[in-house]
Structure 1
Amino acid sequence: MSVRSAVNGFFFEPVPLGRVAAMRFLAGLYVWIEWWAYMPFIFRHRFVPEELYQPLFIGRVLPLPAPNYWIVTGTLVVMLAAATPMMFGYRPRLFGWILFAAYFEWMIIANSYGKVDHASFGFMTLLLVLCMMPAGARWGDREHLSERVGWGFKLVQIGVVCTYFLSAWAKFRYGGFDWANSGVFTWAIIRRGTVFSNWMLDFPWLLHLAQWGMIAFELLTPIVLLVYRWKRLQYALIAFLYCFHVAVFAALGISFLPHLVAMACFLPLERLDPRATVRRLRARAAARRAAPTEREPEPQFESGP
């Protein structure tokens, strides 16, 4: 196999169109969840004085106005209004671009007050990619394969992996090896610990070991991309990543929900078809109603002489 064919096989691996419909639904559903359950503080920025606004670099370049009550509220309304038709496959490209633009502004509002989160990087990439996916994608379509879809989802997958890998790079950039030998996990547990993690405070050596393990884990995440030919192994690694985030949430209450939504593009979601599932359930219910009920045999009495 030549290098060119290997590169093309990696970046343009054909993916069924059914996965596009599933990812559109998940993306729109997450947008509805985010503003009131996952990150409700973003909407509260409509009451924050404009003097506290410290725009990101992209916010200074464009430039974008400082958020106020009407800008924050209007951005949310547009975002939710565009997410609804897109997630159900109605004009998904048109409403996908509107959603991406609104969510882009939403993230600038969220990250321009002194704290920048990296959990939404892969999700932002997903929204951008979905704008350019085939409009006719339908749930459960496993027959029609597209290299174009494979290219788009590969970019999302790279963004997901970069979220881990560049996190380790940032640790070395700002903290060096002192990060791994520091008390950052101890501080995190003291601040946000739960019943699942407070016991670890009695074992500081275990926390230091976990910090080194975290760096090693993040540096090794590109393996998920390299094993794309061995799907079962790749799915097992993705399952491990999901379990890792469940453990982090149980220990510290920290959730990477948008990142987990974007990571779903690794999975064979084209096997899901809600309409077919509903039809099967209805058919089974109708078959049960139509089936004749078995009557118990009537007792037979012997007649006397």
Structure 2
Amino acid sequence: MSSTGRPATLSAVERGHLAWWQRPAAWLFWEAPLARVAWLRLAVYAFVVLDVLVLHSTGRFHGAADPVWYQPLVVGQVLGLPAATVLLAELTRWGSVVLALLAMTGRAPRLLGWATVVCWAWFQYIAFSYGKVDHDRAGLLTVLLVLPTVGQARLRDDRRSQAAGFALRAAQLAAISTYFLAAIAKVRFGGWEWVNSATVARAVVRRGTWFSEWMLDYPALLVAAQWGLFTAELLSPVIFVLAVGWQRRVVGAWYLFHAATYAAISIAFWPHLVTLLAFVPLERAAEWVRWRWRRRRGLDEDVPAPPPLVAPGRDG
């Protein structure tokens, strides 16, 4: 029995193992471990701090830009957001840092969660209202929006809730939508020449490394890689008809793809990689790390290893 009095063996509905077309509401609002949300929350808010200070700090410079270059996005037009000032850029930047650090404690998850997403989203808005909009941030924005709806969740919380399940499912849908919509955008804006021309070759010429420069001698290979990427993105929603264990294998393959992309052209979609963690049983990963640490020190040698991360287990 769990601490909530429920049987240790969970139904397919509770584990979220039903296909979405069988019972859409049960699939969307499945009962997920609160500990998984707590670990995801910790990772997401830690990333927010790293993001605004190191990875994507360009918004701070736009505070000093001439307002003539300000091109408000749709949300800015609807809300009537003004051009950034130095003060506004710094307030949203450092506000994101302070609020995310406080949110990592798990205290006041709704208040601090909503405040963090407002600050971070506004800082991103400042960054993107003067040029290119990065599509890899849509998923993380979704995660930041749904995390406060879960409420209290502890790192070793053995309770389950539909609110946790909905937050994880929304994050999963956002992550996969990023892939699918990227495929649509490639042919919508670049046409079929995106996959038939020298798109990747140009990227390698501009940003290539020793890992990829040899590929320039094999242009057909690069064109095949373009078609492979386009096909994988277009078929990415298929992940939701797979068993949970195979979903995690597919996510592992996506992580390997992003690692190869970074090695080849030094581009990483960091916010998207954080969003993909919604597919990972993070609380079991933490359990496995603790088990390895104690085994190395000769503690709990008779305790069996936790189940593999690709196995659904009783926790979904």
Measure, in 2, the Cα distance between the counterparts of 1:253 and 1:85: 32
Which of 67, 91, 98 is the equivalent residue of 2:115?
A: 98
The corresponding residue for 1:299 is none
Deviates more, 1:47-56 or 1:94-103: 47-56
Q: Say what the alpha-carbon RMSD is for the aligned residues.
A: 2.3
| Deviation of 1:271 (Å) | 2.2
Match of 1:149 among 154, 158, 164: 164
Matched, 1:255 2:268: yes
**Using the alignment, how far apart are the partners of 2:151 and 2:114 within structure 1?**
13
Tell me, what secondary structure is at the counterpart of 2:149?
Answer: coil
Q: TM-score, normalised by structure 1?
A: 0.85
Instruction: Work out which of the residue numbers 80, 88, 98 in structure 1 matches 2:105.
Output: 88
Measure the CA separation in 1 of the matches of 2:189 and 2:136.
19
1:212 is matched with 227
Moved more, 29-38 or 122-131: 29-38
**Alignment-mate amino acid for residue 245 of structure 2:** R
Which residue in 1 is equivalent to 2:218?
203
Which runs of no fewer than 5 residues in structure 2 stay unpaired?
1-17, 301-316
Aligned partners of 1:5 and 1:225: how far apart in 2? 12
Conserved 8 A contact 1:140-1:273? no
Deviation of 1:28 after TM superposition, in Å, equals 1.1
Unaligned runs of 5+ residues in structure 1 are 288-305
Counterpart of 1:301? none
1:176 equivalent to 2:191? Answer yes
User: For 1:100, what is the secondary structure of its paired residue?
Assistant: helix
| 1:138 equivalent in structure 2 | 154
Within 5 A, what are the aligned runs for 1:239-254? 239-254=252-267
Q: Percent identity?
A: 37
- Find the aligned partners of 1:5 and 1:212 in 2 and give their Cα distance: 33
- Asked if the contact 1:172–1:179 (Cα under 8 Å) also holds between the matched residues in 2, the reply is yes
Task: Show CA shifts across 1:243-296 (max 9, x none).
Answer: 11111111111111111111101111122558x949x86xx6999xxxxxxxxx
Q: Structure 1's 100 and 203: CA in aligned 2 closer, same or farther, altered over 3 A? A: same
Within the alignment, does 1:20 sit opposite 2:33 as a pair? no
Match runs of 1:1-305 below 5 Å? 5-135=22-152, 137-141=153-157, 143-227=158-242, 230-271=243-284, 277=290
- Residue pair 2:31, 2:160 contacting (<8 A) in 1 also: yes
Distance 1:149 1:121 in 2: 20
- The aligned length equals 279
With the length of structure 2 as denominator, give the TM-score of the two structures. Answer: 0.83
Match of 2:131, SS?
coil
Q: Assess if the C-alpha contact under 8 Å between 2:19 and 2:240 holds in 1.
A: no
Q: Larger C-alpha radius of gyration, 1 or 2?
A: 1
